[in-house]
Amino acid sequence: MEKINARLLNWASILEDTTREQAERTAQMPFIHPHLALMPDAHLGMGATVGSVIPTDGAIIPAAVGVDIGCGMIAVRTQFTADDVAGRPLDVLHQQISRSVPLSAGGRNAKIRASAEPRIAELRDTPGAGQADAEARQWPQQLGTLGSGNHFIELSLDEQDRVWLFLHSGSRGVGNRLAQKHIKVAREQCAKRHIQLPDRDLAYLVEGEPEFDRYIEALRWAQRFAYLNREEMMDRCVDQLGRFLGTEVERYETVNCHHNYTERETHYGREVWLSRKGAISAREGQLGLIPGSMGAASYVVVGKGNVPSLMSSPHGAGRNFSRSAARKRFTRADLDARMAGIAWGRSDAFLDEHPDAYKPIDQVMADAADLVEVRHTLRQIVNVKGD
């Protein structure tokens, strides 16, 4: 761990100057308490750094939570082993999952499935549903959809050759719309107060005011949507794996965790709003998930409860190159070689998700050694993504 200054601690051995400078600006906001923690996968973000843990007292920065509110991962360990899938046409399973789960940015369900109905009913009864309806009335059609970018569905094998299903997604279009709305409100509020911000995306809402309460309501609703969205997709993936292998899937272990969210937590003796933007909670004994990039390992971890890190850990590999830079830098032939032996989408659309567009996951995990303990190491054999 590196102490950059009294308000900024860093666990990243790979840290660009622009990322450090961005984190320093955020850490100087007057309501940060006690300090901001940079995770090993830290990289440049909107306003606040992706891979940062931001405790705030009496205020929240909506952009520091991010626009994909509640984004996170879910993983399920099944009863199957490598022997059960050996020699089977995994491209067929890739196609089955791709048909069952709508992919890509605008993906939505043509009809509401029976498995989604109780989840949608719960969300309709959750405070914040009115805000969701106002921003994205078609949100029920997106429950159970993946999205694009670094979101994925994988079939993986662990160190004992046991089969896992693993996926990454968040609150989809409705979460984005809600986030953008409240980021705009925060900017307006700061402008009314004539507050000079080091970055306009550090605009904040003040606790005790109606704008703050409205954001918390929308935030909690979107976090719940994201959690249920992952559950719905996992149900479909479990169903498709069972069909593919001709045997009903047994769920031996399940982990579902956010990595873009805010919760009320106590740190250093004070209750604060803790925003994890690209970080997971890693309290002592708490299970979590840290995925690598396409073609790289992913990890099931258990938290160590590290106090200076605000009981947090990285959420993935963290980008090394922007999407546009990755498309220029990497070739399809190289990506094909890196994905050898894995059933995947085989498209130039995924060049910006090339493994080397991200930090080496091995280095990220080495940097996180005092934050989490690795419980399982997963290697993917099927990778489903939206373009």
- Residues marked active site are found at 315
Please give the Cα distance from 346 to 335 (Å, whole number): 9
* CA distances from residue 317 to 8, 34, 106, 294 in whole angstroms, order as listed: 21, 26, 25, 10
331-340's contacts with Cβ under 8 Å and 24+ in sequence apart are: 335/294, 338/294, 338/295, 339/294, 339/295, 339/383
Sort strands 152-157 and 312-314 into parallel, antiparallel or unpaired.
unpaired
Nearest one of 12, 9, 75, 44 to 363, comparing CA atoms: 12
Which letter does DSSP use for residue 206 in this model? E
Burial call 255-289: b when 16+ CB within 10 Å, e when fewer: bbbbbbbbeebebeeeebbbbbbbbbbbeeebbbb
Please give the Cα distance from 96 to 118 (Å, whole number): 24
Residues facing 17 on adjacent strands: none
Single-letter amino acid, residue 198: P
Single-letter amino acid, residue 378: L
